[in-house]
A and B are shown apart, each in its own frame.
Chain A
Amino acid sequence: MKKNKRFNRRDFIQSSIRASLVVSVGGIGGLALKNSTGRDWVWQIDPFECNQCGRCATECVRNPSAVKCVHAYDICGYCDLCGGYFIPGAVKLDTGAENQLCPTAALIRKFIEEPYFEYEIDEDLCIGCAKCVKGCTSFGNGSLHLQIRHDLCRNCNECSIARVCPSKAIKRVPSDTPYMIKGSFTKTTDT
């Protein structure tokens, strides 16, 4: 009759170390695989939820904010009297500073053909205050809207704007679809 070999303390420690090594290597490998194939998440503003409160300009850790106004040209009316460009009751429909809504003159008005005008955003000047977005949403088609620019965003673990956003419009989105541009991005409705 064969006698069982006794499983002593040394064997136990050796087996434990081997098992730990296997688990560690496996874990690190798994994490690396997950990071290389898994989805990353970034912060973005749902333009249909945004209520143009102006906090994006003041609460972002970047100064000026990583939030910028973007323009969905396909839904713009190319209006002469643009609610996003002019203050309500503007004296004259021209580029005079006294008539402009944007506090930094980041919205540029360009003549296309009578009576249509194109509006372009100078992102270096835009502070993401949403004043033009409010004007466009209130009086126009809502083609001006805010987006977090990912070349500027630090993708903080806890977005300081999301923390105070009153309409909870800032959410995590997959990094392979990092923008929610009006026109191409359409709000999904619950059916």
Chain B
Amino acid sequence: MKKSVIYIFLSLIVIIILIIVIGDFRSTRPDRMSGNPYKLNLDRIKSVDPNLVTYQETKNYRINARQAGGIAVAGEKIYLAADTFLQVFDYAGRQILKITLPEPAGCLEVSKQGDIIVGHRNAVALYSAAGEMKWRSEPLDERAVITALALKDGTIFAADAGNRAVHLYTAEGKYVDSFEGKTSIEGNHGFIVPSPYFDLGVNPDGELWVVNPGKLALENYTDEGNLRSYLENISPEIDGFSGCCNPAHIAIMADGSFLTSEKGVVRIKIYEPSGELSTVVALPDKFMEDGEAPDVAVDEEGIVYALDYDRNMIRIFEPK
């Protein structure tokens, strides 16, 4: 009698254990579910030959701001626009200057004399190296969204994503002209700017290079806005650009190479002046998934400064 009770009791325990094990096995908890049949797998695009990556992150500085705007590097100083501030740091990360701006700035550029040109949503302003405002341009129309600035001799180029145009200003802030990248060539529709990523730069030879993000191309224009040449490689592979609008940000290096930052599959690369991929600075694993493309700047020695909007950091990448 006693034995049979024990057998019944043990059998019950075995049944309960079996129910728990089978229940757990068949559970549909997110971590227990089978593979997702609809997953869009971007791993192949994100994985790259590690030998192509010749840079490593050496330092980073946290930014004390809610919304970072843009970054520039000149004269061994880092210039940062964030919230309604313009800040200048030395390479050790010590703050040298902090100016309060009348409104947030999305981009900035520094002249050889140390003057700082700041791009607000629809106006450009120039500050002396000491932080004194020298002039502010007349505001553009309501659609304007200035996203990048470049300097050449006495001309300031401002990329306006809202109007899909490049505006020209004199060194005194007087509006001169605009161009939209349109030509008589069939199939050339001018700048295609699907999102507020529209960058430009002037190379050491004084050539103006403008990103045509919708065409995934870098286009070289004369100062009058005539298309001279372009570089284009549409591909999700490491040597090309993909997505709706890339490269999101560029900077031009001392030898004329292009430093590019991409959105979507976030990565930083360097291209030869002729357009071939030269090296990879940072792969997507360095950034947050589906994060924002970092603004980039580069110094004379080829050290890359990336403004990571998602982590609120200035991240410094140096050659290995």
Contact = CB atoms under 8 A, between A and B. Distances in A.
A109 interface: no
> What interface size band does chain A fall in?
35 or more
B216 interface: yes
B36 A53 contact: yes
Interface stretch (A4-12, A27-35, A131-139, A175-183): A131-139
B69 interface: no
B316 to A, nearest CB: 27
A115 B37 contact: no
Nearest to B193: A77
Nearest to B28: A164
Interface string A80-116: 1111000011000000000001010000000000110
A131 B38 contact: yes
Interface string A146-177: 00000000000000000111100000000000
A88 B244 contact: no
A141 B242 contact: no
Contact of B40 (A55, A58, A101, A115): A101
Interface string A31-49: 0000000000000000000
B45 A88 contact: yes
Contacts of B237: 89
A139 B33 CA distance: 27
A138 B37 contact: no
A140 B194 contact: yes
B189 A115 contact: yes
Contacts of B154: none
B274 to A, nearest CB: 24
Contacts of A79: 194, 214, 244-245
A88 B242 contact: yes
B189 A54 contact: no
Contacts of A66: none
A127 to B, nearest CB: 8
A54 B243 contact: no
> What interface size band does chain B fall in?
20 to 34
B93 interface: no
A70 interface: no
Contact of A77 (B37, B42, B195): B195
Interface in B263-279: 264-265
A77 B38 contact: no
A83 B244 contact: yes
Interface in B221-251: 234-237, 242-245
Contact of B214 (A58, A77, A83, A131): A77
B77 to A, nearest CB: 32
A166 B30 contact: yes
A35 B187 CA distance: 61
Contacts of A139: 242-244, 264-265
Nearest to B262: A139
A77 B36 contact: no
Taking each of B29, B40, B189, B234, which has the highest tally of chain A beta carbons within 10 Å of its own beta carbon?
Answer: B40
A93 to B, nearest CB: 9
Contacts of B245: 77, 79, 140
A89 B235 contact: yes
A89 B242 CA distance: 8
Interface of A: 52-55, 57-59, 76-83, 88-89, 101, 103, 114-115, 129-131, 134-135, 137-141, 163-166
Given A54-B38, A141-B195, 15 more contacts: A54-B37, A59-B28, A79-B194, A79-B244, A81-B234, A101-B40, A115-B187, A134-B40, A138-B40, A138-B265, A138-B290, A139-B264, A140-B195, A140-B264, A166-B30
